[in-house]
Amino acid sequence: MRWLAKQVGVDYTIVYRLQAGEQKSLSFFDAKRILKVIEPDKYLEILGEFYPAEVQELADSKLTEQQTDELLDTIAFALTDIDRYRIFAFATETVGATRSLVAEEFGKFGTEILDALISKKALRIMENGTIENLIAGRQWWSDDLVKKVALNNIHLMTAASPGTHMRNWVTGLNEKGLRAYYDAHANFIESLANIENSQEFKGSIVTASSLFVGPILDKKVEA
C-alpha cells in the first residue's frame, strides 16, 4: 500500500482506507491518480462514470496529459505552503493587485514568492500591470490539498478580527438527517458564491472560508 501511495502521489491513509473498505468517497484528483496507475487503458472511461462534470471540464480545457499533471502540480505548489498561499491569495483576491502592491505589503520576501508563483505559471503579470490568476476555477483538488488549504486559512485568520467567525460542532444524525445537512451546506455555499460574484461586494479585504460537512469514519452516536 505504501508503494502504491508513493507511485500515485496520494496520501497513504487514503489508499489504505480504500483497500480496507473504510473510504467511501474520493476526490477527482486522487481518483485520477490512482486509476491512471491501476487502470491505465480505461481510467478516463471509469472517471467519466463517477465524475462526469470534472471529466467534461478536463475535456473542454483541451489540455494534454502532461499539461494536466503540470497544472495539478502548480495548484499544489501555490496552495500548500502557507507563505506562498498568503501571497497567492493577496495577489489574486485584492482588487487591482500589482507587483508594487505586493512589494508594499510584503517587501522583498513577497516579491520573491510572487516571482516563484509566476515562474510556476500559477500567476502572470498582465499588460496593465495587474496580476492574473491562472488556476482559477479548477476543481481538481485532492482531499489532502483541501485539508492543507483549510489549515492555512485557520492559521492566517485572527479570531479577534471583526468579521471573523469560527465554529466546530459534531452531531449524531441518521441517513435522512445527513442528506438534510448536505442540502443545507450546499445552499450555504451557493449563498456565499452569490456574494463573491456580485460587483456590489467586490473589495480588497481578502476573506477566506473553509466549509466541511460529512460523517466521521467509524464513529457512531447512539440516537
Answer yes or no: is pLDDT of 23 > 70. Answer: yes
Predicted local confidence at residue 219, as pLDDT: 54
Predicted local confidence at residue 124, as pLDDT: 96
Cell of residue 93, nine digits: 483576491
Other residues' Cβ atoms within 10 Å of the Cβ of residue 69: 15
pLDDT mean over 32-46: 83
pLDDT category, 114, cuts 50, 70, 90?
A: very high
* DSSP 8-state assignment for residue 130: B
CA distance 57 to 44: 12
Please answer whether residues 102 and 87 qualify as being in contact, where contact means their C-beta atoms are separated by less than 8 angstroms.
Answer: yes
pLDDT category, 140, cuts 50, 70, 90?
A: low
Answer yes or no: is pLDDT of 117 > 90. Answer: yes
% of the chain beyond a pLDDT of 90: 26
Answer yes or no: is pLDDT of 222 > 60. Answer: no
**For the segment 40-91, what is each residue's pLDDT rounded down to a tens digit?**
888 888 888 888 877 787 777 787 878 877 887 888 888 888 999 999 999 9
pLDDT mean over 169-174: 84
Q: Would you list the DSSP string of 64-121?
A: -HHHHHHHHHHHHHHHHSHHHHHHHHHHHHSTT-BHHHHHHHHHHHHHHHHHHHHHTT
The residue among 29 and 156 whose pLDDT is bigger is: 156
* Residue indicated by cell numbers 485539508: 147
pLDDT category, 119, cuts 50, 70, 90?
A: very high
pLDDT category, 194, cuts 50, 70, 90?
A: very high
Predicted local confidence at residue 127, as pLDDT: 95
By three-state DSSP, how is residue 124 classified? strand
Mean pLDDT of the chain: 84
CA distance 208 to 165: 11
Cell of residue 129, nine digits: 500591470
CA distance 223 to 151: 32
pLDDT category, 220, cuts 50, 70, 90?
A: low
% of the chain beyond a pLDDT of 70: 93
Residue 128 φ then ψ, to 5°: -85, 5
Decide: residue 105, CB within 10 A, 0-12 exposed, 13-18 middle, 19+ buried.
Answer: middle
pLDDT category, 120, cuts 50, 70, 90?
A: very high
pLDDT mean over 147-158: 84
* DSSP 8-state assignment for residue 62: T
Cell of residue 187, nine digits: 445552499
